[in-house]
Amino acid sequence: MNGKISSAAVLGLCLVLGLSSLGWLLGGSLVRFRALERTVTVKGLSEQEQPADVAIWPLQFVVAAQQLSRFDIQPRNR
C-alpha cells in the first residue's frame, strides 16, 4: 500500500506542476498579446469638423461609339 500512495503522490505532484506551468505560460502569452494591441481610447468629443483645402472626388467618364474614329474624336469635343 505504501507504493500506491507514493505513486499517487508523484502523479498528483506532476499534475499540479504541469497545470501551474501551463497557467504561467498562458498568462505571460496573454500579457504579450495585449501589449501588441495598439488602440487609443478617446474621452469627450471624438468627432470634430476640420477645414480642408483639398477634395478628391473620383469621377468616371464613359464614351461609347460604333466606330473607332468617332470614339477618338468624341472625348475631345466635350
Could you give the CA distance from residue 71 to residue 78 in angstroms, rounded to a whole number?
12
Residue type (1 letter), 22: L
* Residue 72 and residue 78 in contact, taking contact as beta carbons nearer than 8 Å: no
Mean of pLDDT values over 1-14: 81
Write the pLDDT tens digit of every residue in 25-61: 999 888 888 777 766 666 776 666 777 777 777 877 7
* Model confidence band, residue 24 (pLDDT cutoffs 50, 70, 90): very high
pTM: 0.41
In the prediction, which pLDDT does 25 show? 92
Q: Give the C-alpha separation, 3 to 49, whole Å.
A: 78
Q: Which residue has the higher pLDDT, 30 or 14?
A: 14
